[in-house]
Amino acid sequence: MRIPRPQAMYLVRLIILPLFLLVASTFAGEVREGFTALIAAHDLTGWQDPATAAEHWTVENGELINDGQGTDLVTAKSYRNFELRLEWKLPQRGDSGVYLPGGQQVQIWAKNTGSGGFIYNHKYTVSPTIAADKPFGEWNTLRIKLVDSKVTVTVNDQVVMQDIPVEQGFDPPLRGPVEGPLRLQKSPHNVMTTFRNIFIREL
């Protein structure tokens, strides 16, 4: 049975439009103006030693996955003042972090104290003001803004540290270089960590 041309064109549009919207939403990545994506389409372009890192870090469907083994993943580029946005997901016993230039770690974990504080290698902790983490297995958003050696951290749209000097709480003080690479921590408990929508804007 032949379908009349106007009806056939209508059916084609009916099928193609949802597919177009799906593809657009999948690949748009909500890249904000001025931001650069740190996850390439299929590989570890933009990160140090990509061939070696690829043994334990992979990119699948826009997600950056660490299998719990290997070493931390380090950006090829160095940064000074910046705003970093990403999403992460952890299983039970999950633990990760984002290392700033100089070695300070903004903690990522789903524990009672919550993510976003200075915890590791501390003389005294700089705990987040609120535990804003979602339950295990759910996506969380993280925003780190570092300006002139002071950091503000937002977890799931809640500010958990604001204008904290990057060396605060560390012993010895980790002032480090004013410019350097960023580092995503592989789980010290050897469990999977997943990231997506990693974007950075230099300030």
Amino acid 111: pLDDT: 77
Q: Across all residues in the chain, what is the average pLDDT?
A: 86
Going by pLDDT thresholds of 50, 70 and 90, the confidence category of residue 5 is: low
| Count of beta carbons in the 10 Å neighbourhood of residue 196 | 17
The C-alpha atoms of residue 66 and residue 91 are separated, in whole angstroms, by 12
Model confidence pLDDT, tens digit, residues 31-46: 678 999 999 999 999 9
pLDDT for 84: 98
pTM: 0.83
Q: Residues with Cβ < 8 Å from 7, sequence gap 6 or more?
A: none
Give the Cα-Cα-Cα angle 123, 143, 69 (nearest 5 degrees): 70
Query: pLDDT class for 30, splitting at 50, 70, 90?
Result: low
DSSP 118: B
Tens digit of pLDDT for each residue in 136-194?
999 999 999 999 999 999 999 999 999 999 888 887 777 777 899 999 999 999 999 99
